[in-house]
Structure 1
Amino acid sequence: MNKIRLAGFHYQQLKQHLFPGDNKEAVAVALCGRSVHGNNHTLVVQDLLLVPHDICERKGDYVRWPTDVINPFLEKAAKHKLALVKIHCHPGPGVHEFFSDLDNESDYRLFKSINAWIDDDLPHASCIMLPDGRLFGRFFNHKMEIEVVHKISVAGSNVENWNYDNSASGISDEYQRRNLQAFGKKTVHMLNTMKVGVVGCSGTGSPVIEQLKRLGVGTLVLVDPDFTDTVNLNRIIGSTQADAAQKAMKVDVMKRGIVEVGMGTTVITFATHISSREVVKELAECDFLISCVDGAEGRHILNLISSFYVIPFIDMGVKLNADGEGGIKNIFGTVHYIQPGGSSLLSRQQYSIERLRAESINRTDRAEYERNQYLANVNESHPAVISINMQVAATAINDFLARIHPYRNQDNSEIDAIKIDFADATSYPDKITDTCPFFSKLVGKGDVAPLLNNAELSDVKKDI
């Protein structure tokens, strides 16, 4: 499958440049990282060149521009095996939703020149944006053969997924009648063709997975290294005493529940920590990520995947403070929506570098962790109640749905987090305007060596 992804802020820049209001064609070029996994090749936008209108010859049905303006991008692409994507618009009345003869001629000259310059046998792409903001496109491989772009995604306050793959969704409409009534065919079809990664299958992860499978999400990638125990039975949907006795892996319990429902969702499971190369590469193929973890390390790696591969994600947390005498002091829940190039869980202070370092050392070198008493305590245990977890998980999934099918009175750009105070029976949205200086530099990097700039994820055979 051929895919292209871009962050919301890049998409807005592109849309404003291509449609300045004069009904004339305009052009831009994106420099993209690559993600290659199996038969999938994804181009992820890391930088944009908005070709100035005043150096172009622009009409309602064509644009001519000096292609030497992309030379700096060509040099970077040749050095780092990056991709170039040409993007132009079809504006005005009578717009045609296909590549014209002029487009074909222009693209052939451009990509023949690009292939001669770079000469790495890797594909580049051309896209068209329509007045409604929709994008469609095609790959040019090194033989100048054309391949369709099967999916183009935007990870912004709103999440767009334009799917041009005609293969069957695998989810029968018979199972989705009520979902179709609520959200309509377009959104339900998007859910059917989405691949969603859920990291953490316990307290909040279990009800998250329960909702996603019944919403008809096409593929679920489940990650959790832990097994079911008796202390989990109060909050893992579908778990049994037999699972606890046999120490069944949590991902296997979740998969069993999905298969038993029988709606047709494909399940990929990893009974391992997220800090595995295989897990990172599979999550990098997802359209959306959901974090149901307690620790700093899982959150940090998910934020890295989100940035490198331009994938939106939701993180949730529950804090239940008991007084130790059968009473409860207070209960809080928070749902954070993260889009690439914006604020991060780190900049929002949802974890600290000290905690991240302590968890990493504890996982990889327990003896070293025990020798360094100054490290943060990573073995904290908190009360967990299914009713609280389910409400926070439902808030997260409703936020996920609002991103792909905006239904709220308030614009999604005004809602970056949702905070719940159970003691006061209130919930309220929060807008967060900062940009994370660390993660913003990583947007669209794609596959690098080592993966995620993390030596632990190095592919020794390829990275040496």
Structure 2
Amino acid sequence: MVTQSMTLPASLHVPPALAEQLFSHLFPGDGDEHGAVIGATVVETQRGTRFLARRLYLAKDGVDYVPGKRGYRMLTAAFIRDRIKDCEREGLAYFAVHCHGGTDHVDFSRDDLASHERGYPALLDNLEHHPVGGLVFARNAAAGDIWLQDGRRIELDTTVFHGGHRRVLQSAPAPRPAADPTYDRQSRLFGDRGQAVLADQKVGIIGVGGAGSLINEYLARLGVGHLVVVDPDRVEISNVPRVVGSRRRDALPWLTKSGRPRLLRRLGQRLATPKVDIARRVARQANPDIKFDAIRSDVTLDTVAASLTDCDYVFLAADSMQARLVVNALVHQYLIPAVQVGAKVQLDQTGSVTEVFSVVRPLTPGVSCLWCNELIKPNKLQEEALTPEQRRQQRYVDDVDVHAPSVITLNAVAAAHAVDNYLMSTVSLVPEGYVERWMRFHPTAPEVRDRAIYEVPRSDQNCSECGTGGRLGAGASRRLPTRITSTS
């Protein structure tokens, strides 16, 4: 139930397929007004209330959207009744949608607001537990009048259309922010407004080893305002060549080096610096004002995953199947774009190198899914659920104690491309019509043209993860695939 605890600001988040359907319906090129209804999941966070568009009902002109009695157009009573029933059944907020002319500015007319006064109190009674409201769109602007069950009315601050070409709409262009001389050179690329957007971002990083530590530094130096970094591990001496900001003394080599008594080595491993603490040190050296949440734990725990549900973006730099499972669910369930990054050196049974590559896989809600692309393996999930002793008994080849080769330059290729993708999308430098691609880089390919391979990821509307009948936009109404944190 939505209560007076609803926090501000309020934002609407729309996955790409629904955004495309909505805009094609509202702006078909005839210059006329058209209508629809959005059913949205309500997610309350400390950063504000997020409405996640889960259902889109297009009103057919002349049948569901007809000439109004007091205004130009209106939704029919039967269409409203049926949509209220749909929203009540699924536990969604109800938003009536229409369009106005114009481009960068939009607001409700007096007739619009009068219709809200007449109709929304009754709709609140019918819906019982969730907000109702009206949304009005121009081509590059959106406004919302939202009525809450506790009697308050709030305005919608932003509408975010997710996708390769990400768009953030407000009722009018935001005023020009003050310039920060610290970021003068980069703001010459994306402007002071772009820099202000980065300062307002909350970004998660899962894993701050080789690739994640680079991502952490890049984001901090770009001026991202809030980082949430998750990693359960402490640094080891073999991590130092590729974990940015780590120092030999962080790994306590005088205790952990080979030849020391086993008891001393274990003590050194327990006292070595956590990777998240190194990441925090690096981030604050780059930006002393950054807000930094260092979580020395596993993203597969429910409380840890919950700390990411109000992020604007998530970087997955931990290469476990369970981490993939959780982040993939976060992407679709909470409409949070993400990217999986990594680098791998594959060896044959003789120890010879067979393949070297770096990967960058952007994950967009409803568009790209690790399940649909067979990058979450059920047998690997089962294997990771075993204890180390059970893995050794079953003689798994990919035992956690067997370390594959890893080189900082391979991680840097993946990290740089991943952060570039995030940056260009966030500051709106991606051109309209951009098609999201996954990237794979092979530095040892004999021909230069073969060193970068691009593919368009697959998705399936019937998928239980990314499909409209699955997790997509479900928010807290579905449980994330996490382990329950022990309270003992």
Matched, 1:388 2:396: no
2:108 equivalent in structure 1:
99
Answering whether residue 11 of structure 2 is matched by residue 3 of structure 1, we say: yes
- 2:424 aligned with 1:402: yes
- Aligned pair in 2 of structure 1 residues 342, 218: CA closer, same or farther (>3 Å)? same
Q: Is the 8 A contact 2:133 2:147 kept in 1?
A: yes
Change (3 A) 1:355 1:324: closer
Pair 88,434 (structure 1): closer, same or farther in 2 beyond 3 Å:
same
Q: Is the 8 A contact 1:37 1:281 kept in 2?
A: no
What's the CA shift for 1:297? 0.7
Q: Is the 8 A contact 2:359 2:441 kept in 1?
A: yes
Residues 379 and 52 (structure 1), Cα distance of their counterparts in 2 relative to 1, 3 Å cut:
farther
Q: Which residue of 2 aligns with 1:85?
A: 95
CA contact (8 A) 2:300 2:482 kept: no
Query: Does 1:187 pair with 2:194?
Result: yes
TM-score (norm 2): 0.83
**Residues 40, 54 of structure 2: 8 Å contact kept:** yes
- Secondary structure of 1:135's counterpart equals strand
Contact 2:95 2:132 in 1 (8 A): yes
Q: 2:74 aligns with which of 64, 75, 96?
A: 64
Aligned-partner Cα distance in 2 for 1:164–1:96: 6
Q: 1:244 aligns with which of 232, 251, 256?
A: 251
2-structure distance, mates of 1:170, 1:271: 35
| Distance 1:104-1:164 versus aligned 2 partners, 3 A rule | closer
Answering whether residue 263 of structure 2 is matched by residue 254 of structure 1, we say: no
Percent of aligned positions with the same letter in both sequences? Answer: 22
Question: Is 1:154 the equivalent of 2:176?
Answer: no
**Counterpart residue type for residue 210 of structure 1:** E
Aligned residue among 39, 46, 56 for 1:48: 56
Q: CA deviation at 1:179?
A: 1.4
Aligned residue type for 1:89: C
How far 1:263 moved relative to its partner?
5.0
Aligned partners of 2:120 and 2:146: how far apart in 1?
Answer: 10
Whole-angstrom CA distance in 1 between matches of 2:184 and 2:217: 18
Unmatched tracts of structure 1, length 5 or more: none
The equivalent of 1:118 in structure 2 is 127
Give the counterpart of 1:265 among 278, 283, 290: 290
Any conservation in 1 of the 2:224–2:290 contact (CA below 8 Å)? Answer: yes
Distance in 1 separating the partners of 2:279 and 2:176: 21
CA distance in 2, matches of 1:367, 1:32: 46
Q: Does 1:17 align with 2:25?
A: yes
Distance 1:446 1:72, change over 3 A: farther
Q: Indicate conservation of the 8 Å contact 2:142/2:171, yes or no.
A: no
Q: How far apart, CA to CA, are the structure 1 residues paired with 2:207 and 2:382?
A: 20
Structure 1 pair 29/321, CA: closer, same or farther in 2 (3 Å)? same
Q: Paired residue for 2:218, among 211, 227, 235?
A: 211
What is the aligned partner in structure 2 of residue 416 from structure 1?
437
Distance in 1 of aligned mates of 2:177 and 2:389: 48
Counterpart residue number, 2:257: none
1:332 is aligned, of 330, 344, 357, to 357
The Cα shift of 1:8 comes to: 0.8
Residue pair 1:406, 1:412 contacting (<8 A) in 2 also? no
Q: 2:145 matched to 1:138?
A: yes
The alpha-carbon distance between structure 1 residues 163 and 192, as it changes in their structure 2 partners (threshold 3 A), is farther
Q: How many residues align?
A: 450
User: Structure 2 CA distance, aligned partners of 1:124 and 1:175?
Assistant: 43
Q: What is residue 292 of structure 1 aligned with on the other side?
A: 317
* 1:111, distance to aligned residue in structure 2 (A): 2.4
Cα RMSD for the two superposed structures:
3.2
- Confirm or deny: 8 A CA contact 2:96 2:133 kept in the other structure: yes
Deviation at 1:89, TM superposition (A): 1.1
Contact persistence 1:170–1:265 (CA under 8 A): no
Is residue 446 of structure 1 aligned with residue 472 of structure 2?
Answer: no
1:44 aligned counterpart, secondary structure: strand
Long gaps (5+) in structure 2? 1-7, 253-270
Counterpart residue identity of residue 161, structure 2: V
Tell me if the contact between 1:34 and 1:83 (Cα under 8 Å) persists in the aligned partners. Answer: yes
- Equivalent residues of 1:170, 1:192 under 8 A apart: no
Counterpart of 1:128 (choices 110, 117, 136) is 136
- Tell me how far 1:175 sits from its aligned partner: 1.4
SS at match of 1:333: strand
Indicate yes or no: 2:334 matched with 1:316.
Answer: no
Pair 1:456 & 2:465 matched: no
Change (3 A) 1:111 1:434: same
Which has the higher mean CA deviation after the structures are superposed, 198-207 or 253-262?
Answer: 253-262
CA contact (8 A) 2:360 2:414 kept: yes
